[in-house]
Amino acid sequence: MTLAGELENYVQHFAPCCIVRSMPDTGSQRKSTDGNYARFIGLGFTFILLLGVLTAGGFFIDRMLGTLPLFLLLGLGIGFAGSLYYVYLALKEFG
Can you give the residue range of the structural domain that contains 54?
Answer: 36-95
* 14 within some domain: no
* 81 within some domain: yes
* 21 within some domain: no
Number of domains comprising the chain: 1
* 46 within some domain: yes
* 68 within some domain: yes
* Number of residues in the chain: 95
The 10s digit of each residue's pLDDT in 33-78 is 566 788 888 899 999 999 999 999 999 999 999 998 999 999 999 9
In the predicted model, is pLDDT for residue 16 greater than 60? no
* 51 within some domain: yes
* 53-91 CB burial, b ≥16 within 10 A, e <16: ebbebbbeebeeeeeeeebbebbbebbeeebeeebeeee
Question: Is this model's pTM higher than 0.85 or not?
Answer: no
pLDDT of amino acid 65: 94
* 78 within some domain: yes
* 9 within some domain: no
